[in-house]
Structure 1
Amino acid sequence: MASPATPQLTVRAVLLAIVLAVILSAANAYLGLFAGLTIATAIPAAVVSMGVLRLLGGGTILENNIVQTGASAGSSIAAGVIFTIPALVIMGFWPDFKYWWVLGIAGLGGLLGVLFSVPLRRSMIVEEPLPFPEGKAAAEVLKAGENPGPGLKILGLSAGIGALVKLAAESGLRMIPDNAAGAGFFGKYLGYMGTGLSPALLGVGYIVGLNIGIVVLSGSILAYNIAIPLYHAFFLHTDPALAADVAGKTAMEAAGIIRGAKIRYLGVGAMLIGGIWTLFSLRKSLLSGVKSGIAAARKGAGANLAETERDLPMKWMLIALVLFVLPLLALYQAIVGNWGVSIPMTIIMIVAGFLFVSVSAYLAGLVGSSNNPVSGITIATILFASVVLMLLLGSDSKIGAVAAIMIGAVVCCAAAVGGDNLQDLKAGYLVGATPWKQQLMLGIGAFSCALIMAPVLNLLAQAYGIGDPTRPGSLQAPQATLMASVAQGMFGGHLPWDMIIAGAVIGAVVIAIDSWLKARGSHFRVPVLAAAIGIYLPLELMVPIFLGGLLAYFVERRHGVVGADESVRDRVHRPGVLFSAGLITGEALMGILIAIPIVVSERADVLALPEQFHFGQFVGLVVLAVVGWLIYRTGAKAHPQV
């Protein structure tokens, strides 16, 4: 453990943290819009920091901790933004992403997340410590940082591979397709099977593991291989308009039309029930955590605390809270033009923000930031805000759905940053860092990421499309599409409520199964929000995630740690996790770079090679298999400390 006198918040650490935060937030924005998932970035950032600071003459463990703290905002701000703000474009309220509005929502929401999480540190990390798995892992990486070379080599190699495969894919050179899929009619039934060819999705699967991989794939199989065939065989005739759309189409086209119009809303229903269940199941722990956090903050306000126990002062926090809330009040007033509505909106945002930052922090402490169901928290916020706004504006209000999304967006950013903040503070606690310096750094990192979100979103929207079912290759933006559907449905929109209700029933069954597994003490669990994401997203995205999880399992078998303690498995998986993080980052950044010439030229095929260089699905499958073998080899090999 380092001494508090060790340099921490140095200029070079702050600048490096900002650069990494911006890069990783752009990468996570692409990944989240593409696959509905983001990854925690603290460990890759810590490895890069150790390597860069060594080139600059050597860095202390606390400097490296500051860098990973600021850089980790790249995943939290990206998640908060992409889960909500694209809904405003999908709903048609914005033609594109407005820079100052996005900056205000993301920046102020992120800063509020930092403030709201401060009183929770003592209760969740010091007095009644939660596991915070990624915080512990980051601390282990920092402690083992005497030799960052192997880790940097793994990251650099895999990032290059991810970037090259993305360049060769459909949005770039078109040498290989994005998916390998097939469909056919079997009498009245319609069958479909396929896989995406993205190395990043293999990496995501390796990081989340086999359990989550099985659950998300099962959700997609339920949608594609059960629900779509059954609907086509027995229910299509009940919707003449949809039947007319499907008539004469190929099996592949018919499956896509039925899924887009009906079946994906099963996932919406499952997500709704999952978000409500998450809050209900955490009610006692949440109340206890909030109470003890506030009590601890009061107790420590004037105490003579050690440097390793000093949080941001409560007095300055309250002043900052007022300063951050006033612009949000002005923003809400600009939307609704009625102080009688904008003031309650602001109050809802403050109360829901503090409440759900506590939920997010607790969940991050239990299952880690990557598995934190922030989207479920946001759904609950939007539902609650919609009910209040319906009383104030009426159920037929044209601005009600937009106002609910605006509240949810701020709360989502705050909750994502709050959970991530506690994860970083756990790492800092284990290495002897000063809490207030980390809290300040996370605020700087979060605001830095917010500065680039609107340009990145506009670039991706112009190049690929976001949440546009009519545009081939459009980024799915599943959570934002869900938020738009829920908000519009509450204010008189037209939604397939029969499918949403059926999805809620499916979600309830999944919750019952998971509760039974929990009661039996099973290591295998069925988180409802993971199942819902699987139902909602295309099958071809879930197959490589499952395959990546399978690779992680094989690595555990190779090292003989299946069923071992989580800390043991984390150490075993560190090389594979770094390789996977590199694949994700390289592919995502290449996706953003490819978007630039597409937007400038206004041609989706601007980089495409001639037809004779388009090699088809088989070559794409071979490339995916080679990348999978590299992940396994990296994870299975004995490495120097990484």
Structure 2
Amino acid sequence: MNQAASPPQLTFRAVVLAIVLAVVLSAANAYLGLFAGLTVATAIPAAVVSMGVLRLLGGGTILENNIVQTGASAGSSIAAGVIFTIPALVLMGYWPDFKYWWVLGIAGLGGLLGVLFSVPLRRSMIVEDPLPFPEGKAAAEVLKAGENPGPGLKILGISAALGALVKLSAASGLRLIPDSWAQAGYFANGKLIGYIGTGLSPALLGVGYIVGLNVGIVVLSGAVLSWHIAIPIYNAFYLGSDPALAQSIAGAPAADAAFAIWSAKVRYLGVGAMLVGGVWTLFSLRKSLLDGIKSGFAAARKGSGVVTSETERDLPMKWMLVALVLFVLPLLGLYQAIVGQWHVSVPMTIIMIVAGFLFVSVSGYLAGLVGSSNNPVSGITIATILFASVVLLFLLGKDGSLPAAGSAAPLGAVAAIMIGAVVCCAAAVGGDNLQDLKTGYLVGATPWKQQLMLAIGAFSCALIMAPVLNLLAEAYGIGSRTLPAPQANLMASVAKGLFGGQLPWTMIAIGGVVGALVIALDNWLKSRGSHFRVPVLAAAIGIYLPLELMVPIFLGGLLAHFVERFHKVRVDDEEAKDRVHRPGVLFSAGLITGEALMGIAIAIPIVVTTNPEVLALPVNLGAWAQWVGLAVLAFVGLWLYRTGKRGEGAA
């Protein structure tokens, strides 16, 4: 295919639509990530919206729609890279709020580096030794079947309105229903705490439907370990060894006592499991990682100076190297502004470059195996922060434990988080870029145009991250029960702990043992050829987050399983699953987007009036409110199931 005969791709309207969708979806994913500790891929909803909008504008080619979904998909990757790391700087007290130019520099430059680092990996992972890239294949099928996007747009619009309405009715809005339903009590003369509950969030139900029953069971099992085993044991046998915690919960309701024990002690089991999981992820991928890097560079050298077809043309390597230097220099200045010592800031920059390229390769490989939604970027970031902290401990010495300028946060911890933040953004964008390039490869797109579009989309998302985070922080509080920011809390805890902070190391060590046992179980299941797997990072997230967040995720996965059973889809038939679940996935994406955007919209009047109850109605349903909330969640679940039953086909 020569360039003259190529259908339009990087058109003005496609670029503008991609930027708009990227910004909206990045804001929604930022809220979701701070709320639930998860983000979801946005390529398929973006492709459906693109087909509908471009049709209204006179029709669009499949390659234009592909460019739109490529740019829009940056919304989930930049949001993940930012919310997993940058809020740690606020939680540690280094920043009182989110500094616009700093956030833009970290997220924007990190995202651009992710695009650059992933370019030499395209040929090896997609062309020469292709990985499955399940979400990339699914997006390509949606684009190929795009003659009638109307039903998909209708599903997205209705479910988004439904998610927004439920969020508006909840505790941060009209206050008709609570955010969760919970029952708790003391047993055995106060020795044991019993706690059951579920969040009433349609978005979490949608997340569960998208990730599926396997992941839903694993995250719920982690939460059960925390809330039904670890908390009762700690309360019964170890609370007396912590007088401060015992005094703080004396006479408190059982639910509050359980949450306090989880927050102070038990959630650190998840920290230990995630640390072990992150290290294991890197170790288990060592051969594939090295092979991917070698073949990527070999392909880049082989292709230099050779005329290639339009469908094989990447961004030129020489311009990539120039851009790499231009992007790295501002980051060097940023690190120097933090530590004020060139012999430290230069190694920090080198660590960032090396770790960035390595972990973009890991992220791309994982996206190729399990998809961007299941890509354990947080585990990759933990490994980065651990390695950077060890090097900084050597370079900074005692200075690393001293407060950074203008704050009480340890200097070394701040520096490690800064490195981790850039690498996290690069890894998230790099994996997403390769997923999109797989879609483009299947529909005949031009790689360099997609790479350029993703760079534009990533930087556009970075432009709005700080205002969105500041709005959410002022309205709800970062680290609160409304926005627990689990990964950022984890990164802050790990970084501070390595520079003299006080952490419950015994709980972290026990969590590490739990993580090792989960890995052993997963390997045993793999050796038996089982379709059910136990990913350690999913289990760690379940341990680390409140039970009430994990229950609706499990329920959503259960609904997806029932849809598969209804259509009699084989367990191993991934293509049939994609077809069957497409309406349900679109409905779920609408629930997530609608609820998240309403959460951001509600924050505006709260911030303007400084009154968290500004939208509350003078109506109190009392004890009935929780049961009404449960009924609403059941209604949403039934609607999701009925939509899933209308799947686009069966095996």
| TM-score of the superposed pair, with normalisation by structure 1 | 0.98
CA deviation profile, 1:383-421 (whole Å, cap 9, x unmatched):
000000011101534311000000000000000000000
Q: Secondary structure at the match of 1:493?
A: coil
Counterpart check, 1:394 vs 2:394: no
Number of aligned residue pairs: give it.
637
Alpha-carbon spacing, 1:601–1:554, altered in 2? closer, same or farther (3 Å): same
Tell me what 2:418 maps to: 406
Comparing 354-363 and 632-641, the one that deviates more: 632-641
Q: CA deviation at 1:639?
A: 5.1
Number of the residue aligned with 1:155? 156
In 1: Cα distance, 2:94 partner to 2:22 partner? 29
The letter for the 1-side match of 2:413 is A
Alpha-carbon separation, structure 2, partners of 1:245 and 1:31: 31
Partner of 1:16: 17
Deviations 1:223-282 (A, max 9, x none): 000000000001111111111112111111110110110000000000000000000000
Distance 1:640 1:524, change over 3 A: closer
Q: Which residue of 1 aligns with 2:271?
A: 268
1:161-180 residue pairs with structure 2 within 5 A? 161-180=162-181
- For residue 612 of structure 1, report the CA deviation from its aligned partner: 3.6
1:60-139 to structure 2, matched below 5 A, reads: 60-139=61-140
Letter of the 2:513 partner, please give it: V
Letter in 2 for 1:545: I
CA contact (8 A) 1:2 1:431 kept: no
Residue in structure 1 matching 2:630, options 611, 621, 626: 621
Counterpart of 2:544 in structure 1 is 536
SS at match of 1:580: helix
Quote the residue 1:583 is aligned against.
591
**Counterpart of 1:5 in structure 2: which amino acid?**
S
TM-aligned CA deviation for residue 474 of structure 1? 3.4
1:598 aligned residue: 606
Deviation of the 1:638 alpha carbon:
4.9
Partner of 1:41: 42
- Worse-matched range after superposition: 234-243 or 624-633: 234-243
Specify the code of the residue in structure 2 equivalent to 1:485.
Answer: S
Query: Where does residue 361 of structure 2 map in the other structure?
Result: 358
Q: Secondary structure at the match of 1:195?
A: strand
How far apart, in 1, do the equivalents of 2:426 and 2:100 lie?
19
Unpaired stretches in structure 1, ≥5 consecutive residues: none
| Corresponding residue for residue 486 of structure 2 | 478
Q: For 1:358 and 1:437, how far apart are their aligned partners in 2?
A: 21
| Partner residue, 2:640 | 631
Q: Residue 321 of structure 1 corresponds to which residue in structure 2?
A: 324
Instruction: State the SS of the aligned residue for 2:267.
Output: helix
Q: Distance in 1 between matches of 2:165 and 2:195?
A: 29
* Aligned pair partner of 2:334 in 328, 331, 335: 331
**Shift of the alpha carbon at 1:565?**
1.0
- Is 1:565 equivalent to 2:568 in the alignment? no
Map of 1:300 onto structure 2: 303
Structure 1 CA distance, aligned partners of 2:496 and 2:648? 52
1:637 Cα offset (Å): 1.9
Tell me how far apart the structure 2 counterparts of residues 175 and 247 of structure 1 sit (CA, whole Å).
Answer: 31
| 8 Å CA contact 1:18, 1:71 repeated in 2 | yes
**Match for residue 406 of structure 2?**
none
Q: Of residues 250, 253, 256 in structure 1, which corresponds to 2:253?
A: 250
Name 1:607's counterpart in structure 2. 615
Distance 1:474 1:215 in 2: 23
Q: Equivalent of 1:453, from 461, 465, 484?
A: 465
Is 1:197–2:205 an aligned residue pair? no
2-side partners of 1:181 and 1:603: how far apart?
26
Deviation per residue, 1:122-180 (Å, 9 max, x gap): 00000000000000000000000000000000000000000000000000000110000
Per-residue displacement from partner, 1:279-330 (whole Å, max 9, x unpaired)?
0000000000000001101111111100000000000000000000000000
| Structure 1 residues 211-226: aligned runs within 5 Å | 211-226=214-229
Cα pair 2:2 2:310 within 8 Å, conserved: no
Equivalent position amino acid for 2:532 in 1 = F
State whether residues 581 and 647 of structure 2, in contact with CA within 8 Å, keep that contact through their aligned partners in structure 1: no
1:207 to 205, 210, 213: 210
Q: Quick one: which of 284, 292, 309 aligns to 1:289?
A: 292
* Maintained 8 Å contact 2:579/2:647: no
1:606 positional shift? 0.6
Task: Output the amino acid matched with 1:63.
Answer: E
Q: In the alignment, what sits opposite 1:418?
A: 430
Contact kept, 8 Å, 2:119 with 2:314, in 1: the verdict is: yes
Distance 1:463 1:542 in 2: 24
Question: Could you tell me which residue of structure 1 aligns to residue 407 of structure 2?
Answer: none
Instruction: Measure the CA separation in 1 of the matches of 2:649 and 2:197.
Output: 38
Kept in 2, the 8 Å contact 1:117–1:358? The answer is yes
Given candidates 498, 503, 506, the residue that maps to 1:495 is 503
- How many Å apart are 1:640 and its aligned residue? 9.1
Q: Which residue of 2 aligns with 1:440?
A: 452
- Does the 8 Å contact 1:2/1:61 carry over to 2? no
* 8 Å CA contact 2:579, 2:649 repeated in 1: no
In the TM superposition, what whole-angstrom CA distance separates every residue of 1:521-561 from its partner, at most 9, and x where no partner exists? Answer: 00000000000000000000000000000000000000010
Q: Distance in 2 between matches of 1:605 and 1:229?
A: 35
Across the aligned residues of Structure 1 and Structure 2, the Cα RMSD in angstroms comes to 1.2
Deviations along 1:445-472, one digit per CA (max 9) or x if unpaired, are 000000000000000000001114xxxx
Per the TM alignment, residue 382 of structure 1 is displaced from its structure 2 partner at its CA by 0.3
Give identity over the alignment, percent: 80
Q: Is the 8 A contact 1:2 1:62 kept in 2?
A: no
Matches of 1:451 and 1:152, distance apart in 2: 27
**Match in the other structure for 1:182:** 183
Whole-Å separation in 1 of the counterparts to 2:277 and 2:572: 29
Quote the Cα distance in structure 1 between the aligned partners of 2:234 and 2:311: 60
Describe the superposition over 1:59-114 as per-residue Cα deviations: whole angstroms up to 9, x where unpaired: 00000000000000000000000000000000000000000000000000000000
* AA in 1 matched with 2:554: F
Q: Any conservation in 2 of the 1:553–1:562 contact (CA below 8 Å)? A: no
Please tell me whether residue 230 in structure 1 is matched to residue 233 in structure 2: yes
